[in-house]
Amino acid sequence: MSTIIEKSIAESIAVKQAILADYNFLQKIRQAAEVCIRCFQADGKVLFCGNGGSAADAQHISAELSGRFYTDRPPLFAEALHVNSSYVTAVANDYGYDDVYARMVRAAGRKGDVLVAISTSGNSSNILKAIESARAQNMTIIGMTGISGGKMRDICDVLLNVPSTDTPRIQESHILIGHIVCQMIETEMFGS
């Protein structure tokens, strides 16, 4: 049992060390934060989407922005697109699950807004359709994936492709990156 514990912790640390050692990746994190800052400063919104654990990550990160992260400050318009279960189940039933996020992006997204699309494989069809809708709305797309980037590699404006193929390690790094972006946004916008 302790072998699983030690191995998992060591693997998680190794992925984060690889990110820390990659100057270009660190610059992409900075770029993602700057994209969001510009959006919020222009009174825009940041929309998040993902499936399963990535949906939980989308909700977690958006809550840090719309609620608060470190400091008491005005709320920012950030929303995970799956939180309305009646909407999700109705659209999935009437149109198909692949359209769940794309349809909400068309409803809520506007030019200058940001879509944060989270998929460890980079190949989730409903996430790809959401990106397509965001592109049609003239939104900026930040993708969070694993190392290959999958099909998202070539269709995101900023791709944060964590250097791992292991889903739990990728998701752990997505939350770290999300927290860093939240802190950078708060610091830049509110001086905290």
pLDDT band at 1 (very low <50, low <70, confident <90, very high): low
Q: Which positions ≥6 away from 92 have C-beta within 8 Å?
A: 99, 100
Tell me: the pLDDT tens digits for 151-180? Answer: 999 999 999 999 999 999 999 999 999 999
The confidence score (pLDDT) of residue 129 equals 98
Which is nearest to 108 in space by CA: 163, 45, 52, 188? Answer: 45
Tens digits of per-residue pLDDT, 103-121?
999 999 999 999 999 999 9
Q: Is the dihedral of CA 108, 129, 90, 57 positive or negative?
A: negative
pLDDT for position 100:
97
Q: What is the pLDDT of residue 61?
A: 98
Is 97 within 8 Å of 78 (Cβ atoms)? no
Give the pLDDT of residue 192.
65
User: Per-residue pLDDT averaged across 48-67, rounded?
Assistant: 98
Mean pLDDT score, 33-53: 98
Rounded CA gap, 80 and 49, in Å?
6
Cβ atoms of 41 and 189 within 8 Å: the answer is yes
End-to-end CA distance of the chain: 42
pLDDT surpassing 90 at residue 8: yes
Return the pLDDT at 2: 73
SS3 at position 43: coil
Cut 0.75: pTM above it: yes
What are the chain's domains?
A: 2-190 (3.40.50.10490)
Task: Please give the helix or strand (H or E) that residue 161 lies within, else none.
Answer: strand 158-161
